Chains A and B, each alone.
Chain A
Amino acid sequence: MAKQILRIDMAKLTATYENVPERWSQWAGRGLTSAITCDEVDPLCHPLGPSNKLIIAPGWVTGSPAAPSSGRTSFGGKSPLTGGIKESNAGGLSGQMIAKLGLAAIIIEGTPAKGNWYTLVVSKDGVKFENAADLVGKGMYEVDELLWKKYPKTAVIGIGQAGEMKLSNAGISVNDPENKPGRYAGRGGLGAVMGARAVKAMVILDAGGPGVEIKNMDLFKEGRKKLTESIMEHGLTKKGGGLNSFGTAVLVNILNEAGGLPTRNFSAGQFEGATKISGEAMAEVCEKRGGEGTMGHGCHPGCIIKCSNIYPNESGEAIVSCIEYETTWAMGANCGIDNLDFIAQMTRECNDIGLDTIEAGNTVAIAMEGGLFPFGDEVSALQSFDEIRKGTPLGRILGQGVEATAKAFGVSRVPTCKGQSMPAYEPRAVKGIGVTYATTPMGADHTAGYTIAPEIAGVSGKLDPLSDEGKAELSLTFQAATAFIDSSGYCLFIAFPILDIAKGWAGMAESVAGVTGQAITGADVIPLGKQILKMERLFNERAGFTAEDDRPPEFMRNESLPPHNVKWTITNEQLDSVYAWVHEGEPA
């Protein structure tokens, strides 16, 4: 059975099923959310207005039998935070269930009568529009619990109070296998876009769905086998490997040792308390406190990497799942806080209120620099989330993210690109990632340019890691590869094994080809990724973005970052060369 598009009109409260048009038929995941956004969303529209749409799409292989670590769901639309195109993806239960219902994408458009909120119940029988008055004003922990009482073992997508208030830092929650709201399409404020459609929550029931059609089962199995073996062989992704043992926060100590861990609002590259907030420290806490605390937790069925964690309190009861690298950095080093228990509680606040932890932590750091409370004041930092939950004037400023908060508090060290704050890698110390921060259509985003070995991806020459030369080409290659993986439904962490183990790269492409029937090989990964990037880039251009938006923040060119005392040195011409190819061949 061919996949369909489910279009939900919130103005008319109708749901219609459409065949996937030819122009979208090759895409899934990020490629599809971006294609639909480009075709159906006016780039000049207000992100919270009636012309914007929320698009939800599982990846190519999501929902297919035992494709390893492939449960991602892409969410797309025009971003309230950046004003440009946005794709943000999450793990959790939703992707596989949407895919098993035979849906390529769900498009949510229109605005209902003012004051009404809805829960959309999506099943094989269609869409029910349930009044969500009983859920409005509630955080996501309670929303997930209430909806599972009525619809057990379903996928729940939802927004907390931040999304209801249409704050620019509102994310979209997806429940995990324990029905906790720890999986977020956090970046870019898409929770506010969902709130603007007056959708508080969605319930996905996959029972009786047609499942995912596999066009070439032999090829799919061959690709799946290669990829699975690669993941299980690689030191980082295998059982007991770095990710499985210490989570993504295994990066804290290494970035700190390298002098690239942004500290106290990007004023230094090393944090004296780094070891206390690291993945190693989390593992020690889990072992000591026991109970529900664990490393090696999977965020969705079928994940074989299991890099998530459940962080416990002193009694062994779960505080939150999970504390990611970017989260422990944003709430920790960047705020001068070295107390994991407070970081866990702040993370829980984000998951409940519905906030992106990267933007939220950066915002607290900006408020600290602006004098609201001092760096390291963990008690005040935690209390500040109450302001957002209650929607106080201060909370509404903090909930708008870094740039709005910096204006409110007169702060000029503002670590953003295209309105979105930077993740946990200092671009003055780690120059390669800085090019990606500056030029990706998504705004400063580490996941926009993920690991693909240059030689595998076809970047030629002997790259000097210390030279600025070649960074543009490298960044583009990374961005293209990431756009492909984001479309596949695979977790980005498969990038490590496919980097080092050649059969893994081929296996990823073959499994996608097996499911879709498209003639995709490893050689097609970068060209297909570039097609997606071009769509996104052109949307942003029509939204008014220029080359001046592909720049790092001013302070990074002027302020030296200790301990290496380095400034941003990559020229604007180099940055402009990253996307120069988009208009090649066009008349002058």
Chain B
Amino acid sequence: MKRLCFEIDHHRLLTTILLLREKLNNRMINVNVSLYGSLARFGGGRHVAQVDVELESNSGKADLLTHLDIPENERGYLFINAVLCEVPGISTGANELLNDGDHIGIFSVDRLYPYQYRDGLPMSDGLRKTLHEHGAVHHSYR
């Protein structure tokens, strides 16, 4: 029986592993999420929780919410990098991609956020368009 014999090239193996890891890393992103009020329980907190979430690199907001398993009717205001993206009852831009290092803040539906403190605030194009079409500005759209 012919004996299989080969030499391991350690340097080549290490390079391959590093390349594979880099490739894998490129397929994943990390986002930081703050959960407020009753939503904190989805991050292991009592009234406020902060968690880091790893997602596929082409993930959007909807993927994050699915990952966190937060019911839609419990969600209120949602910010991505200080830009208002959701208000109670209006969710837009579900497929907009998240980027590595993004911060997302999600509030339970009972948050106090009066109109005049939103007026003039940066918001996503999708939410702006939807609110503009809606006409009247409410505290809640439920």
A interface residues (Cβ-Cβ under 8 A, vs B): 235-236, 241-243, 245-246, 248, 250-251, 253-255, 257-260, 269-270, 275, 278, 280-281, 283-284, 287, 425, 429-434, 436, 449-451, 453-455, 462-466, 468, 471, 474, 478, 495-496, 499-500, 563-564, 566
Contact = CB atoms under 8 A, between A and B. Distances in A.
A564 B113 contact: no
Interface of B: 34, 36-37, 40, 46-48, 50, 77, 79, 81-82, 84, 105, 107, 109-123, 128, 131-132, 135-140
Contact of A429 (B50, B77, B122, B136): B122
Contacts of B84: 258
B107 A253 contact: yes
B111 A433 contact: no
Contacts of B111: 236, 242, 250, 254
A496 B112 contact: yes
Contacts of A245: 37, 110
Contacts of B118: 258, 430, 432, 465
Given A258-B79, A431-B120, A454-B136, 19 more contacts: A235-B109, A250-B112, A251-B112, A253-B36, A258-B84, A278-B48, A280-B40, A436-B116, A453-B115, A453-B137, A454-B137, A455-B135, A455-B136, A465-B121, A471-B120, A495-B114, A499-B139, A500-B139, A563-B82
Contacts of B81: 563
Nearest to A257: B105
Find the residue from B36, B115, B136 having the highest chain A CB count within 10 A: B115
Nearest to B48: A280
B48 A275 contact: yes
A95 to B, nearest CB: 24
Nearest to B36: A253
Summarize A's interface: helix, strand, loop or mixed.
Answer: helix
13 contacts: A242-B110, A254-B107, A275-B34, A280-B40, A429-B120, A432-B117, A436-B116, A453-B137, A463-B137, A465-B128, A466-B123, A563-B81, A566-B122
A62 to B, nearest CB: 23
A254 to B, nearest CB: 5
Contacts of A563: 81-82
B133 to A, nearest CB: 8
A500 B140 contact: yes
Contact of A432 (B109, B119, B138): B119
A499 B115 contact: yes
